[in-house]
Structures are given as structure tokens and as C-alpha cells.
Amino acid sequence: MHLFRKIIPAGTLKENIIDFTLVYNKYKKPLYNYLFKIVRAEMLAEDIMQNVFLKLYDNMSRIRHTEFIEVWIFRTARNEAFTHFRRTKNKVEEDISDYESVLPSSNLIYDLEQQELIDLIEEELKQMDSAQSEVYYLKEYSGLSYKEIAEIMEITEDLVRSRIFKVRQKLRTAIIKLERG
């Protein structure tokens, strides 16, 4: 099922709003997750996401092949995030824990172990090459296919597979060290 007509005509405002709403509802959560993992700041991720969707709405009449809408959205988001980093020269890095909500837990030890594992994974990803960690975030947190990731990052599917494999191997090694240590 396509989110909107195969080729978007310069339709009515009502049709454009409906089309936009369908696209927005489908991609808002995976796009936010992706951006949050890149910028590590809740408000900044929301701001960038809003800018991406504003650009999408402004350009809907120009997008001719809607089967590529997901690639367009994620590529635009990636470009917006990198533009932000260039402007601020990588000075934006907020602590994720400041934004995490504290949930009541029936199993405190399990929750602490899970948080320790999440922290380990995040720390390992920070130490990796940004191209590797970005591919991992796109795959694991946004649920994109290898093909979609390749199109967004403008690399081959084989390179996407290779990077994800290497990241998973590094994470597996780090987790094994944690379990033994």
C-alpha cells in the first residue's frame, strides 16, 4: 500500500494535508529514534524532525516517485543533523540520562543490568567510526532495510551489511568481556 498516489499531482490542499498526515504518522517515530541516536538530545532531535517534515510538506508537489519518500525523509534528516553539527562544531552533546524518565520497577537488579548493558552499547558505539555507528542506528533503531540504508547513506548494500556485521561483532566482544569481568 502506497502512502499516497504513485505520482503526486498538484492536488488540492486537502489531498496534500491527508497525504502529508499519512507520511508523518508512519515515519515520525522511526525518524525521531534515528535523530535522537545521532544528536543525543531530545529537543534537538525533535527540532530537526520538525524541520524535515516542514521541508517535506513544502516539497510534496515536487516529489514524483513516492516509493522513495522514506529515503528522502531519512536523507534529509541526516543532512539536517550534519548541518547542525557543522554549525556548532560538534559542541552539542547532551547526556541522555537527563531526559530518561524514571519508571517504577518490580525487578531493580534486572533493570540495573539492562541499563548497564545499554550504557556499554552506547559507549562502544561512541568509540566506533561514525559511519559504522550510524548504519547500526539506522538498522536497529529505525528498522530500515539494508537497501534503504544504502540509499540514505549513498553506499552499497554490501558495505551496509559489512558495517553492521562489524559493529555487531564489536558489541558482542564488549558484552562478553562485561560478562566475564
Q: Can you read off the three cell numbers belonging to residue 1?
A: 500500500
pTM, two decimal places: 0.56
- CATH topology of 13-88 equal to that of 101-180? no
The DSSP-derived string for the chain is --SS-SS--S--HHHHHHHHHHHHHHHHHHHHHHHHHHH--HHHHHHHHHHHHHHHHHHGGG---GGGHHHHHHHHHHHHHHHHHHHHTT-----GGGTPPP---S-HHHHHHHHHHHHHHHHHHHHS-HHHHHHHHHHHTT---HHHHHHHHTS-HHHHHHHHHHHHHHHHHHHHHHHH-
CATH 1.10.10.10 at 101-180, yes or no: yes
Architecture of the domain made up of 13-88: Orthogonal Bundle (1.10)
Domain ranges for the chain, please list them.
13-88, 101-180
Q: What is the chain's pLDDT, residue by residue, as a tens digit (181 residues)? A: 344 444 444 456 667 788 888 999 999 999 999 999 888 889 999 999 999 999 998 888 787 777 788 889 999 998 898 888 777 654 434 444 444 444 444 566 666 677 777 788 888 888 988 888 889 888 887 888 999 999 989 999 999 999 999 999 998 888 888 777 6
The one-letter code for the residue type at 180 is: R
